[in-house]
């Protein structure tokens, strides 16, 4: 189906805040995600190693009859950290309190939360790497000794009044585990490293979500959406909702393979989950700069975007997919990138793989422009 014969069903390609393949939650996601969250460890699909380890931690604490060890959930956005924190509280049969690093700018904010916990309560601290230093210092003591020192007064006359806390379980979540100070990381009894999901697991998640949303989804259509979901449940659920919209407006509501493909083509999400901007970046890198090396800001200008957008929004997945490498001399395409866009590299094209091993996603500061 071509885009030309579609009326009033066009996504706005200029609205990057609304990228279908963005792993971060938008307002729409937040509204529907609650309904799609699995509520028990058994219903949580994939991440088998994390599930096994976490299951043990929870069972052991129940056997001891004490608050469970503090748990750190580390991994990229949209992989299920918030979901797991809710599951931890549910499995422990304890209430859950939710707060986040940015909300705890003063130590007093944290003291207020901690002192109002009930014994055994699970405290979920999202984006824990964004907590203020003062709150962090207070958290050390709270995690270790279930105690905080409230400072009363200022200057030389200030005194610390110790306050006993009920035992609680802290569940911290971070997308940037590398930013956590060592002493904080060490105070977690267990760290779950969440990784991107296998296509089979995403497939299973889609089947589950489709059942909950009442979307008739053919297995091959589920497999097709799974391939394009970047190993991320949030992206999978979002693509499913958009494909459902398409099916309801353009067809009879059933999602089969042809329909899923047509819908995702309309939304410009390609066979492996690259969207328009990802492809524009690759296209500029290959066609205009012969595969690189080219500086980030030059590449960004070529696609009419901010450097930061290209760096934080496109590059992580392009690097992860093995299409692009960050090297000290700039961005370089790999042979896979040429292949994916159906282009033939000119003779003598420098390939990333031949010059340097792929840089980790944080390697952006390597480049000298």
Ligand X SMILES: Nc1ncnc2c1ncn2[C@@H]1O[C@H](COP(=O)(O)OP(=O)(O)OP(=O)(O)O)[C@@H](O)[C@H]1O
**Applying CB under 5 A, which residues contact Mg ion?**
81-82
What does the block give as tokens for 111? 């003291």
CB of 312 to ligand X, least distance (A): 14
Separation between Cα atoms, residue 291 and residue 287, nearest integer Å: 7
Contact 148, 193 (CB under 8 A): no
Residue closest to ligand X when measured from CB atoms: 80
Residue 169: name its binding partner from ligand X, Mg ion, none (Cβ under 5 to 8 Å by kind): none
User: Which one of the listed residues 19, 22, 82, 244 is annotated catalytic?
Assistant: 82
**For residues 131 and 101, what is the distance between their CA atoms, to the nearest angstrom?**
4
Per the CB < 8 A criterion, the answer to whether 180 and 187 are in contact is no
Tokens of residue 271, six digits: 């066979």
Name residues whose C-beta falls within 8 Å of residue 29's C-beta, 6 or more positions apart in sequence: 234, 237, 238
Catalytic annotation present for 126: yes
Report the interface residues with ligand X, using CB under 6 A.
24-25, 33, 36-38, 44-46, 77-83, 175, 205, 233-234, 237
> Does residue 175 carry a catalytic annotation?
yes
Residue (172 or 292) nearer to ligand X, CB: 172
CA distance 206 to 70: 31
- Closer residue to ligand X, CB minimum distance, 46 or 291: 46
Q: Residue 269 or 285: which CB sits closer to ligand X?
A: 269
Q: Which of 22, 126, 201, 278 is catalytic?
A: 126
For 29-49, give one letter per residue: b (16+ CB within 10 A) or e: beeebeebbbeebeebbbbee
- Binding partner of residue 45 among ligand X, Mg ion, none, CB under 5 to 8 Å per kind? ligand X
In the bound state with Mg ion, the residue whose beta carbon lies nearer, of 125 and 333, is: 125
175 binds, among Mg ion, ligand X, none (CB under 5 to 8 A by kind): ligand X
What are the start-end ranges of the H helices in 214-232? 219-227
Question: Shortest gap between Cβ of 244 and ligand X (angstroms)?
Answer: 15
Write the DSSP string, 126-162: ETGGGS-HHHHHHHHHHHHHSEEEEEESSGGG-EEEE
What is the smallest separation between the CB atom of 98 and Mg ion, expressed in angstroms?
10
For β-strands 147-152 and 159-164, DSSP reports them as: antiparallel
Least separation, in Å, of the C-beta of 77 and Mg ion?
A: 7
Q: Provide, rounded to whole angstroms, the least separation between the CB of residue 142 and ligand X.
A: 23
Catalytic residue among 83, 174, 175, 334: 175
Question: 81 vs 238, which CB is nearer to Mg ion?
Answer: 81
Catalytic residues: 81-82, 126, 175, 234
């Amino acid at each position: 189906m071509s885009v030309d014969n579609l009326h009033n069903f066009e996504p706005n390609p200029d609205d990057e805040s609304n990228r279908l393949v963005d792993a971060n939650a938008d307002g729409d996601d937040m509204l529907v995600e609650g309904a799609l969250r699995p509520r028990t460890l058994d219903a949580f699909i994939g991440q088998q190693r994390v599930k096994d380890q976490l299951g043990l931690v929870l069972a052991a604490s129940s056997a001891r009859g004490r608050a469970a060890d503090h748990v750190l959930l580390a991994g990229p956005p949209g992989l299920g950290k918030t979901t797991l924190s809710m599951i931890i509280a549910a499995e422990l049969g304890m209430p859950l309190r939710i707060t986040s690093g940015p909300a705890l700018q003063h130590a007093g904010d944290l003291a207020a939360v901690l002192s109002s916990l009930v014994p055994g309560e699970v405290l979920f601290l999202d984006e824990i790497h964004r907590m203020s230093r003062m709150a962090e210092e207070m958290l050390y003591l709270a995690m270790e000794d279930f105690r905080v020192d409230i400072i009363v007064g200022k200057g030389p006359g200030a005194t610390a009044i110790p306050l006993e806390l009920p035992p609680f379980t802290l569940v911290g979540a971070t997308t940037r585990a590398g930013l956590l100070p060592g002493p904080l990381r060490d105070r977690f009894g267990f760290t779950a490293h969440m990784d991107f999901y296998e296509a089979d697991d995403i497939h299973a998640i889609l089947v589950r979500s489709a059942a909950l949303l009442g979307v008739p989804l053919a297995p091959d259509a589920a497999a097709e959406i799974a391939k394009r979901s970047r190993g991320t449940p949030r992206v999978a659920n979002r693509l499913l909702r958009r494909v459902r919209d398409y099916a309801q407006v353009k067809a009879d509501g059933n999602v089969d393979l042809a329909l899923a493909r047509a819908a995702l083509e309309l939304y410009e999400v390609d066979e492996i989950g690259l969207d328009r901007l990802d492809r524009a970046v690759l296209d500029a890198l290959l066609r205009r700069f012969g595969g690189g090396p080219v500086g980030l800001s030059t590449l960004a200008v070529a696609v009419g975007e901010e450097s930061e957008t290209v760096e934080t929004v496109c590059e992580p997945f392009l690097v992860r997919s093995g299409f692009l490498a960050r090297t000290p001399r700039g961005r370089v395409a790999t042979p896979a990138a040429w292949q994916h866009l159906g282009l033939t590299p000119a003779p003598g094209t420098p390939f990333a793989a031949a010059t340097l091993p792929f840089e980790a996603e944080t390697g952006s500061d390597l480049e000298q422009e």
